[in-house]
Amino acid sequence: MLQETSTAVIAILFLASFVTFEASTAVALLFITAMVAFITALLFLLREISLALTGLRFGTGTPATPSPPGEDVRR
């Protein structure tokens, strides 16, 4: 959506240079739409990273107990 919005902004600015019409309102609305889409995408990325980090498990959650001296831990 962000790419289409930015393409529309460029197209309107290009057309406004050839045809006499007020393009500032349309460009402003499309720019605001692009920024909202960009911020939404960043929030989704942040949520995805949060879900990925929550899914990681480092260990079992119980502290490791030391093995008795002389016992071979490589079995």
Residue 39 within a domain = yes
* Distance, CA of 49 to CA of 52 (rounded, Å): 5
Higher pLDDT, 75 or 9: 9
Q: Which domain holds residue 18?
A: 2-53
Total domain count for the chain? 1
Question: Is residue 49 in a domain?
Answer: yes
Q: Please report whether residue 66 resides in a domain.
A: no
pLDDT of residue 59: 59
pLDDT above 70 for 62: no
Q: How confident is the model at residue 4 (pLDDT cuts 50, 70, 90)?
A: confident
Residues 64, 69, 70, 75, Cα dihedral to 10°: -10
Asked, for residue 65, whether it belongs to a domain, the answer is no
72 domain-assigned: no
User: What's the whole-number mean pLDDT along residues 49-62?
Assistant: 75
Considering the domain boundaries, does residue 70 fall inside one? no
Is residue 22 a part of any domain in this protein?
yes
Query: Is 69 part of a structural domain of the chain?
Result: no
